[in-house]
Amino acid sequence: MILGRQPALGIAELESLYGADKVRPVGESAAWLSVDPCLVAFNRLGGTVKFCKILTTLDTTNWGAIEKFLVQVSPQQAATMPEGKMTLGLSVYDMSVTPSRLNATGLSIKKAIRSVSSRSVRLVPNNDAALSSAQVYHNHLTSDRAWELIFVPDGGNKTIIAQTVRVQDINAYTHRDRERPKRDSRVGMLPPKLAQTIINLATGPLPADQLSSICDIPADASVQSPNLGQTVLDPFCGTGVVLQEAILMGYDVMGSDLEPRMIDYSRQNLDWLDQQFRTQVRLTSLEAGDATHYQWPQKFNFVASETYLGRPFTAQPSAEILAQTITECNLITKKFLRNIAAQTSVGTRFCLALPAWHIGQNQFRHLPLIDQIADLGYNRVSFEHANGEDLLYHREDQIVARQLLVLTRK
């Protein structure tokens, strides 16, 4: 598995769904998942960009030796592929190999294949060490006449060589994000991929009887998703991104929001979802309500939500304004957690995207309540392969980040 831009989120997501014993980090950018590939719900994973099968492991990290091996074995392997023009891409993670060296290696492989056959080979050029998911997707590098070869160091002197078999469908994500009828930048633009990760961290380990029903959900959800018989609540639903992604995963959903306008937007977006993807939306409740004292009318199994993020700063605020914003967000979130605690049973699992403010080089201000979570009636879920403090979704040009907090009701 090749992880996304913030690998800690992807590692925690995999561990949450499949268990720590099934996950092994490989370098900084990849993870080894010890699960039957047929039971991996790849289209549900927001934090994993490429799903790869391991071809071999070499006892070297020297690129010259790796290139020599590739030139030797590629002609024989290419001969097993269906006839026709072949497309080749190379992606290196956590290794010091320049794009120009990768392009030279690709040309050497191309030449080796052409030397023993008449097969035409098209090389996807590297501008970076690794091809982006968009490059893999648009160049059809997971087709039966294509290779994207992945190289990841494993330990001090080994290199895993793998082949990408699936890649995130960026068109499907863009469609679900930008083509919904109602969007509102003033309340934040939660990316569908991040919404998926929030839901996966909220739902936790997948029961064995669910694995077979969810693993083949198509990326475009063009067929009805399975009914898992469990309900995800989003108490700050906004325009309904979490609700949308939970429905596509097969959950029933329940939503509420302080603003009636957001409830109207969510309804319109879920109607659009049903028309586009034939999901037969399973919406149990969608009402306006203040999450700090609202009484949700029906039972739910999980809570997945992006809470109130405060003011959308476009420049670094003054210390006074930032302190006021932190106090406001902290108070609202604390009141919400106290309110919903009385409406949940022991063990109910939450994933909340809370605001965190970027104040300098790798420095963030967090909500004070995180250090008081036990006093509010919750246990913080820890991960074996990811530090909870690293579960941050953030871009360099953003002041307000999202910190994912995973909790269970005490």
pLDDT, greater one: 393 or 115: 393
* pLDDT at 223 (0 to 100): 46
Whether residue 358 sits in one domain with residue 282:
yes
Instruction: Report whether 219 contacts 167 (CB < 8 A).
Output: no
The CATH number of the domain holding residue 90 is 3.30.2130
* pLDDT at 221 (0 to 100): 47
Averaged confidence pLDDT in the chain: 92
Rounded Cα distance, 267 and 261, in Å: 10
pLDDT tens for 151-209 read 999 988 999 999 999 999 999 999 999 999 988 766 668 999 999 999 999 998 877 66
Number of domains in the chain: 2
Whether residue 201 sits in one domain with residue 117:
no
pLDDT tens for 288-339 read 999 999 999 999 999 999 999 998 888 899 999 999 999 999 999 999 999 9
Give the angle subtended at the CA of 138 by the CAs of 136 and 144, to the nearest 5°. 65
pTM over 0.85: yes
Strand 23-26 with 30-33, pairing = antiparallel
Whether residue 153 sits in one domain with residue 288:
no
pLDDT tens for 378-394 read 999 999 999 988 999 99
Whether residue 213 sits in one domain with residue 342:
yes
Token couple for 361: 């080089």
Domain stops at, among 107, 137, 167: 167
Rounded Cα distance, 116 and 34, in Å: 37
Rounded Cα distance, 309 and 357, in Å: 10
Which residue range forms the structural domain that includes residue 144?
2-40+47-167
Whether residue 324 sits in one domain with residue 248:
yes
Q: Which residues contact 264 (CB under 8 A, 6 or more apart)?
A: 182
CA 225, 227, 232, 233 torsion-angle sign: positive
